[in-house]
Chain A
Amino acid sequence: MSDTPLIPTSIKIVVAGGFGVGKTTLVNTVSEIPPLRTEEVLTEASVGVDDLVDGKETTTVALDFGRITINAQVVLYLFGTPGQNRFWFMWDELAHGALGAIVLVDTRRLDSSFPSIDFFERRGIPFIVAVNEFEGAWPHTMEEVRHALDIAPSVPVIACDARDRESAKRVLVELVHHTMRRLETAPA
C-alpha cells in the first residue's frame, strides 16, 4: 500500500463505452461528491510550450470522475473514458493500474462498444459488460449481447440502469468479484 499511513491508497475503476451510453451517469450515481471534471492537454508530450501558449493545434480532453471513500486507508475513483478515438492516448494512463473496467453497452448501438472491449482484452485488464437498458431499445437477452459482441464465457454480462444507485452498485460489485475470481484462477 502507501509508504505513509497518513496517505491513503487510491484504487481506480474505468467506465468505458461509446458516446451517450451512460458513463457519466453511472459515475454520478455512485459518487459521494458532486462529480468532478478535469482537463488534460492532448498530446502534451508532443506539443511544445510555444504551441500551448499560442493556442495552436492544441485540444483538451475532459475527464469525468467520481469518488467513493472506502475507509481511512483506501479511496476508490471512477473515471469515465473520453469517447473519441483521438483520445486513445488518455486511455493508457486511465487503465494503468486499474482494478478493472466496466464497458457500458447500449443495445441500439452495439458496435460503439467494440473498441472498448478490444482495448481491455488486449491489455489483459479485467472487465465486465453492463447493458444499460434505455427505453425504446429492443429487449435483448444478455446471451444475445454476449454473442453479438463475442464476449468470452468467463466475462460477466449484466443488465443495469446507470441512473439507479442499487443497480450501479451491483455493477461495481460484479466487477470486483470478477477481478477476485481472475486472481484466483491466474497462474501464480
Chain B
Amino acid sequence: MNPDHDWWYDEAAGPLVRPYAMTRGRTRPNAPNLNLVTQVRAAGHPADPGALSPEHLQILEICQAPLSVAEVAAYLDVPLVVVKVLLGDLMERGHVVAGALFQTSDITDTKLLQAVLDGIRRI
C-alpha cells in the first residue's frame, strides 16, 4: 500500500471533499506565478476579515513573517494546489504579497552563491 494515498482517506469526514470545499472547487489559482519556494508575507490586517474563510485567516496568521508556499501548505496540512488558490485570493485582495518568481539567472550571482556557502558552513 502506498502511504502517500492515506492522506485522502484517513479522515472520517469525507477527506477529498474537505480541501476542495476550502477553495469552492477551484484548482487554478488566480496568481499563476506561485511556485513551491515563492516567499509570501501578510500585508497589514484585512479590513474585512469576515469575508475570509478560516483557512485564509490562518494563512495571514502564519505569514506575518515571510514563508514559502510549500511551508504554508505543510503548516496548514493542505495540498499545494489548494494553498495556491487560497494565496491567490489573498493576493488579489492585497492581503498577501509575494516575492518575485525565482529566476535561474539569479544563480549566476556569485555573491549569492558565496552567501549560501557561508550560511551552510554556519549550521
Q: Which residues of chain A have a CB within 8 Å of any CB of chain B?
A: 1-4, 6-12, 30, 32, 36-41, 44, 47, 49, 52-55, 58-63, 65, 67-71, 73-77, 79, 82, 93-94, 96-97, 99, 165, 169, 172-173, 176-177, 179-180, 183
Contact = CB atoms under 8 A, between A and B. Distances in A.
24 contacts: A1-B112, A4-B99, A7-B39, A30-B120, A36-B75, A38-B74, A38-B79, A44-B27, A53-B16, A53-B17, A53-B25, A54-B16, A55-B15, A59-B4, A62-B3, A62-B4, A63-B70, A70-B120, A76-B119, A82-B4, A93-B35, A99-B113, A173-B120, A180-B113
A77 B39 CA distance: 11
B107 A99 contact: yes
5 shortest interchain CB distances as A-B pairs: A70-B119, A10-B37, A36-B74, A7-B99, A2-B99
B36 interface: yes
Contact of B79 (A41, A68, A71, A169): A41
B81 A68 contact: no
B116 A60 contact: no
Interface string B81-123: 1000000000000000111101110111110110111111101
Interface in B24-54: 25-27, 35-41
Nearest to B113: A180
Contact of A9 (B75, B99, B120): B99
A11 B25 contact: no
Contacts of B68: 10, 67, 75, 77
Contacts of A165: 123
A96 to B, nearest CB: 7
Contact of A3 (B73, B100, B106, B120): B100
In this complex, the interface size class of chain B, counting residues with CB under 8 Å from chain A, is 35 or more
B64 to A, nearest CB: 12
B25 A97 contact: no
B5 A59 contact: yes
Q: Which of A39, A52, A93, A169 has the most CB of B within 10 A?
A: A39
Nearest to A74: B115
A30 B38 CA distance: 21
A63 B71 CA distance: 11
A93 B118 CA distance: 27
A183 B8 contact: no
A41 B110 CA distance: 36
B65 to A, nearest CB: 10
B80 interface: yes
A61 B106 contact: no
Given A2-B99, A65-B70, A8 B39 contact: yes
